[in-house]
Structure 1
């Protein structure tokens, strides 16, 4: 059979069939409500962050540029999986064409790489702001920020284009039922007739390389920040400034790496647990990121209040 072609013993369809959450197919309404609520919160929260950064001219510093990019990536990440997921739960629309599956896989995995890159950029921003405050604007000027953002996107493309090509060229001649709620790479390649080991090895290797490199540079950045502020009066303020970023780092990297290695190596873990962790890893951080930043960052919180309640905000400023 030629690579990239499909056949099925009982059907001529070239579409994959998404299961949703294996062993929980009897609870589509409850699962749909759970994921839909998280999706709405993620869309509203991240859209609000983007809106206030665009409208408020005081939020033009590098950190808020990276935060806007993070919000945009989060919107793309959840939109690439949740609408189809809700279709599976509520409309029994569980078929997904081969091309659509490849596109979904591309966006899911590329956005995870981009999010890691943005988190690294934000750590570098905090390092420059705290350790070299007088040179902050000179180091992180508009041209540098544009180059960093471009590098984040290009890196994701360079990683995902070969992987997408490997998966697309695999022959699928057995069951096309994907035991997952979206076109996750490991779940799709498990259906291939040919040996999927090259694409799996590439996926795990590149994920480990990207995350390992980013975490190492983030750790170095925060190590230098700690060395610069320990024992000084600015120590408490520095920890407060970096606190929300550290929360986002833990929220993203810990479940993400557990999910990746669980699907590759943990044969004793149930498929249901693997799928739920993979879903929550992609949905929960985009939902909570805006809440963490809006609660911990006074400037964003103030800008949101100005957008939501302009009259009250102007009245408060007028009475001061």
Structure 2
């Protein structure tokens, strides 16, 4: 297990380097000049523009810019934005909001997805199984922004149950509706995945053997069916944490949440290469760490899985 853990940690290094290099190259290749855009409709002062480019290393080749970014990132010095703010301060204001939103969406999709998936899988063919499947298919088919606007209208405007927008300093109730919207599609996938795995494992030989040995239905379900069925669900949930943070951009725009998605969107529009790559680097780190934790959980869920 120790060797496997060390090997996975070493594998994280090229993943992070490759992702940051790709994102930095894409931002570098964006059309337009962000320095000239800072002047707006005013004439460009070439002396001032040259000074800004030198300050932000924009006058250096792409490879040099990227290596300087990596060097500074090792000490959590991500530089400054074009507005003169420290990038780490901008990230520090945006990330807590998005992390809170992602955790709430994760809990929503994990709890309701697994519960409804278990009900649907254990009671396959019943009327509520059909209802759950239709609702999950509807959530998958409808775009997120449509779901968001529908929930805003009914839960916020018509019934006044939850706030319509989150605002600058959102609390639990402010983020509850955005979290439901953000986690709705993943919840639908988890329902269908859980249902498929449970209905498949119910007919396995080890389940029939357990029942033949005198175990009750509850013991068979908890110890054998659910434990083996949740392995692909845990895999999906682990990879979905990073997707929730990255996919929060649309949700944050709908509900006016000042989080990572909104900050990343504004950074792309302004050509803030350092800001964009810094946010993506942190998100990649969160993603690979979550996947590492999921791999460690495999051995807990299924004793047959052992890593050399």
Tell whether the structures are fold-level matches, with TM greater than 0.5. Answer: no
Higher Cα radius of gyration:
2
TM-score after normalising by structure 2: 0.29
TM-score after normalising by structure 1: 0.28
